Amino acid sequence: MTRPAESHSPGATPSALTGVYAVLLLQSLMASGTHLVAKVVVNAVDAPTLTLIRCLISVAGMAVLLLFSGPRVSIRRKDYRLIFVLSLLAIPVNQFFFLYGIRFTTAANAALLYATTPALVLLLSRILLGERLTRRKVAGVALAFAGVLVVILERGPNASMEYVYGNVIIFLAVIAWSSYTVYGKRLIAHYGPIGASSVTLIVGTVLFIPVGIIPALAFPYETLSAANWLQILYLGIVTSVLAYVLWYYALSRAEAGKVALFTNLQPILTTVLAVLLLGQSLTVMFVLGGMITLSGVILAQFG
């Protein structure tokens, strides 16, 4: 039996969008922790092995979620190509490139690169979905990104040649995530957030198995600590199941460009987590950059 499409309205009222914004804030917090966790765990596990383990854990978690979420998902033949493309973007490109690239750069740089997602999504949404590209949206993206730059540059990102390679790889992951966001709207319309997330995650994992299976079988798992396994579980359950579902839930109820704009909060939230967990200092420039970013997000939401 096919899961019925969930109702969604890009033109939802402000009161209806309040819940969407709350979901996006929670999703942004989850995603922000990913940069810190991934930067630590990639020192213990190679990217192909980590990606495959993360995916297998995610598939198990998504299976449990599907078990309690209602009727099973029945895939329509006409969606095969779209599902293949989205699955390829979600796992072999986005997740693998992110985990591979972050080894060569910093968590702050990775968060900054993901903050370019709204600009890419706005352009793709205009071209592929026909969403309006208003002056307020463009101004909001520019303002939010300026706030991100204030924070990251104040913290002193390392742009030396040793980081360029990692930054390029992660930017490819950002392009994949932006495309996944835009193209995913069509899939959500029929399968809903959980159905769309689960099918792309499962198919994406199958597509990645040929890349990750040999390194995963050869990896010395006895070298991993309990903390490493908790970090892997965070990547597998929190960011690959919960955060994906919350992201697609928001996309089912708001325009892709407005949803994507919340990724501008990730560098701010990543820095907050670094302050709380790693003891980094909280500066005036950080507060200023955070206020600028939030102003941009709010401006674009009313565009």
Q: Please provide the DSSP assignment of 41-109 as one string.
A: HTTTS-HHHHHHHHHHHHHHHHHHHHHTSSSPP---GGGHHHHHHHHHIIIIIIIHHHHHHGGGS-HHH
The predicted structure's pLDDT at residue 119: 76
Give CA–CA dist 61/126, Å, rounded: 34
| Residue of 52 and 133 predicted with greater confidence | 52
Tell me the average pLDDT across 275-301: 72
Most confident of 3-17, 125-139, 195-209: 195-209
pLDDT at 93 over 60: yes
Of residues 103, 94, 99, 27, the one with CA closest to residue 266: 27
Per-residue pLDDT at 53 exceeds 90 = yes
pLDDT tens digit sequence for 176-235? 988 888 888 788 878 887 888 888 999 999 999 999 999 999 999 999 999 999 999 999
Tokens of residue 150, six digits: 């204030």
Query: What per-residue confidence (pLDDT) applies to 71?
Result: 63
Instruction: State mean pLDDT over 128-153.
Output: 76
Spatial separation of the C-alpha atoms in residues 205 and 200, rounded to whole Å = 8
What confidence tier does 159 reach under pLDDT thresholds 50, 70, 90?
Answer: low
Is 185:250 a contact under the CB 8 Å cutoff? no
Is it the case that residue 246 has pLDDT exceeding 90? Answer: no
Which of 250, 247, 241 has its CA nearest to residue 69? 241
Q: In this predicted structure, what is the pLDDT of residue 219?
A: 96
Among all chains, which residue has been given the structure tokens 């928001």?
A: 250
Query: Are 289 and 151 in contact, with CB atoms under 8 Å apart?
Result: yes
pLDDT of 104 higher than 50 = yes
Which residues, at least 6 apart from 47, have a Cβ–Cβ distance to it below 8 Å? 96, 99, 100, 103
pLDDT-above-90 percentage for the chain: 27
